[in-house]
Copies of this chain bind each other. A is one copy, B any other.
C-alpha cells in the first residue's frame, strides 16, 4: 500500500494501530475503576488513553531504525502496510491523542484529577519512563556485556512496568482513593508479564504470539530466561503472580477478576 496521503489515510492508519492486541492496559483501567466504585462509562477515556499510548510505543518500536519488526498483533506493522513516515506520524498522533483524551472534561469532572492522571502518564511514558526503557533496551543489544538481572528489571520497569502501573492505579486516582495497593499489584503483574514475554519468545510460535519470536535468543541478548533458565523463569513468574494477588487482599473477593488477570498473564499464549 502507498503512503498515507492525507487526513483520511492517517486516521485509517491510527485505527489500524489501535486494533487487536490483548488490551491489558485498558482492561486494568476499567477493572481498577470498577473496584473503586467509579461508575461504568466514566473510566473509558482513561482506558482509551493508555491503549493509545501503548499503540504509539509499539508503532515506533517496530520501526526499521528501532526493533525492525514486520509483524504485530498478527498483522503487518504500520510501516510495512503504509511506510515509515506514516508510522512516525501515526505514533506521534496517538501519543497526542492519549493526552488529549485525559484533558477532556468527559474523562473526569475534576480537572485536578485529570491533571494528576496526565502528569502520571507523562512520567510513565517520557525520558524517565518508557522512552528511557526503550533506549536502555537498544543500548543493551549492542553492549559488550549482557545485562545482569537487576539491569533487566530496571529496564523493564521503565519500558513496560510504568505504563502498567499507571493503568492499574488510574481507577484509584479517578476515585481519589489510595493508589498504593494497586501500585503493588501492578508492579508484580508487570514483572510477571515481562518474564512471560521472554518465555513466549522461546516457547511460542510467531503465529500464536502474533509477532516475531526467538529474536532475543538469536541476538544473544540477556533475558529472564537466559539468566534464570526456563524453569527458573516460570517459577519466578508464578511467585510474582502470588505477590500480585496478595496485594489485592484489601479488596477481598471483589478483586477476583484482577487475580484472574494476573494468572492469565503468565499462562497466555500470545
Contacts from A to B (Cβ < 8 Å): 3-7, 9-11, 14, 56, 60, 63, 65-66, 83-86, 88-89, 91-93, 95-97, 99-100, 102-105, 110-112, 114-116, 118-119, 121-123, 125-128, 131-132, 134-136, 138-139, 142-143
Residues from chain B with Cβ under 8 Å of A121 in the complex: 99
> In whole angstroms, how far apart are the Cα atoms of A96 and B49 in the complex?
13
Residues from chain B with Cβ under 8 Å of A63 in the complex: 84-85, 88
Q: Does the CB pair A65–B88 fall under 8 Å?
A: yes
* A104-B119, A115-B111 known; A127+B6 contact, CB < 8 A: no
One of B10, B91, B103, B143 near A135 (C-beta < 8 A): B10
Residues from chain B with Cβ under 8 Å of A110 in the complex: 111
Q: Does the CB pair A3–B127 fall under 8 Å?
A: no
Q: Does the CB pair A136–B6 fall under 8 Å?
A: yes
Q: Does the CB pair B111–A126 fall under 8 Å?
A: no
Closest to A100 in B: B122
Closest to A129 in B: B96
One of B88, B105, B132 near A10 (C-beta < 8 A): B132
Residues from chain B with Cβ under 8 Å of A65 in the complex: 83-85, 88
Distance between A129 CB and nearest chain B CB, rounded to angstroms: 8
Distance between A2 CB and nearest chain B CB, rounded to angstroms: 9
Distance between A64 CB and nearest chain B CB, rounded to angstroms: 8
One of B14, B134, B136 near A127 (C-beta < 8 A): B14
Q: Does the CB pair B99–A138 fall under 8 Å?
A: no
Residues from chain B with Cβ under 8 Å of A123 in the complex: 100
Distance between A59 CB and nearest chain B CB, rounded to angstroms: 10
Residues from chain B with Cβ under 8 Å of A11 in the complex: 127
* A3-B139, A88-B60 known; A97+B111 contact, CB < 8 A: no
> In whole angstroms, how far apart are the Cα atoms of A132 and B95 in the complex?
14
Residues from chain B with Cβ under 8 Å of A104 in the complex: 119
One of B14, B85, B118 near A66 (C-beta < 8 A): B85
* A3-B138, A119-B104, A127-B7 known; A66+B93 contact, CB < 8 A: no
Residues from chain B with Cβ under 8 Å of A102 in the complex: 118
